Amino acid sequence: MITFSDVQSARERIADAIPKSPCPISYTLSRICGCRTYFKLENNQMTGSFKERGALNKLLQLSEGDCRAGVIAASAGNHAQGVAYHATRLGIRSVIVMPKATPLIKVANTRDLGGEVILHGGNYDEALAHARQLSELQGLTFVHAFDDDAIIAGQGTIGLELLEEETRFDAVVIPIGGGGMISGMAVALKELRPDIRIIGVEPASFACMKAALESGAPVEIDAQPTIADGLAVKRAGDRTTEIVRRFVDDIVTVTEGEIASAILKMLEIEKTLVEGGGAAGLAAVLFNKISGLDGKNVAIVISGGNIDPNLLMKIIERGLAKDGRMIRIRTLMRDRPGELARICQHVAEAGANILDVAHNRAFANLEVGGVEIELTLETRGRDQVDMLLEQFKADGIIAEEIK
């Protein structure tokens, strides 16, 4: 298990190449969340995420022979870019195995940073197995994304930076994938501030660390797709699980809709682009998944901002839907002139905006002469939606929101 001294050494080792990330307060989100909310903006790093801290710490400890042979890593994006960037900067060959479904922009970015990309497998775990095989065949040093002492110590430098802030934090909220960042940060934070609360956050569909703690050891979980692709790890690390068990106070989970809403809040309020994994911590605070934070100083780690533009468009729509600002309403009525105009008039009076209208005459469960009209609307929120549904009801229009 790494020690506080390991994290301090990592800080000295990487200091010249990794700038200290800012940690500003958000007054608006503090008001919304009910606690003084600060964001540790690791998305400001050169490669857009915290991952380069651990990657550089690992690379700087390689022998001359290892440097000549090169390194290999498996990653769906952030770790890949961190390894590729710093390996290229140090004159080290880097091979990166990425799942075939990795967004093209992340593949392109990794190649642009000097990495030799190999697309293999349907998920991170399959890419990981292939990378390990290539490591043995080609004599390349394997750089694990999270379950490595040098990686963990490098990520722990974020905790040292938080301890240097003028604000004395009561709690730190940290996203969890395989557990490298929260493990390193926990070692650093608890050494000097044993009273500080450390809370981990996982996607509900990829809660591998929670499963590891409940089972007594890391286990491979059955998982569903998640927009927090940077946290999509099926099995927590052996090293990280032990550290989390010892130092982390609690782990909570957030849903896909909650993550999408948090991404949208960061865009609208903070003018900050955050990826799914990076928004997980805010989602937990925003949707009251963590008790006892009222009025406290809370640091939320924004772990990265690398997000596929196509996914971002879907996330924005999902976030709007989660907040009740984009909805679908189904209405049933007689198919005759003036009925659609009557519906549109109510929408206009409520101050909503129509994005799409769909008629269904043949396939709905209706009598002949009836029509089902589905409206996609842009609204200000739940109050406006409820008001519109009341207006429909008062005018004898059968209407329901499509969830």
Query: What DSSP letter does each residue of 77-111 carry, written as one string?
Result: SHHHHHHHHHHHHTT--EEEEE-TTS-HHHHHHHH
Is 75 among the residues known to form the active site? no
Contacts of 30 (CB under 8 A, 6+ apart): 36, 37
Which of the following is catalytic: 75, 265, 303, 322?
A: 303
- What length is written for the chain? 403
Strand order in the sheet with 25-26: 25-26, 36-41, 297-302, 171-175, 197-203, 250-254
Rounded to two decimals, the pTM is 0.87
Q: How far is CA 204 from the centre of its chain?
A: 12
Strands 171-175, 297-302: pairing is parallel
Which tokens belong to 354? 């129509």
Please report the pLDDT score of residue 145 as a whole number. 95
Please report the pLDDT score of residue 104 as a whole number. 82
* CATH number attached to the domain at 326-402: 3.30.70.260
Which of the following is catalytic: 26, 40, 49, 51?
A: 51
Topology at the third CATH level for domain 4-47+151-321: Rossmann fold (3.40.50)
Residues forming a β-bridge with 328: 376, 402
Please report the pLDDT score of residue 397 as a whole number. 87
Please report the pLDDT score of residue 366 as a whole number. 65
Contact 77, 106 (CB under 8 A): yes
Is 9 among the residues known to form the active site? no
In the chain, domain spans: 4-47+151-321, 51-149, 326-402
Please report the pLDDT score of residue 309 as a whole number. 86
Task: State whether the Cα torsion 171-176-180-183 is positive or negative.
Answer: positive
* CATH number attached to the domain at 51-149: 3.40.50.1100
The answer to whether domain 51-149 and domain 326-402 are alike in fold is no
- Please state, as a whole number, how many other Cβ atoms lie within 10 Å of the Cβ of residue 137: 8
CA neighbor of 10 nearest in space, from 67, 66, 61: 61
Per residue of the chain (403 residues), give pLDDT as tens.
999 999 999 999 999 999 999 999 999 999 999 999 999 999 999 999 999 999 999 999 999 999 999 999 999 889 999 999 999 999 999 999 998 988 788 899 999 999 999 999 988 888 999 999 999 999 999 999 999 999 999 999 999 999 999 999 999 999 999 999 999 999 999 999 999 999 999 999 999 999 999 999 999 998 788 999 889 889 999 999 999 999 999 999 999 989 999 999 999 999 999 999 999 999 999 999 999 999 999 999 999 999 888 889 888 887 788 788 899 999 888 888 888 899 999 999 889 999 999 888 766 666 667 788 899 999 988 889 888 999 988 888 888 888 8
Contact 44, 274 (CB under 8 A): no
- Please state, as a whole number, how many other Cβ atoms lie within 10 Å of the Cβ of residue 2: 21
Residues forming a β-bridge with 304: 49
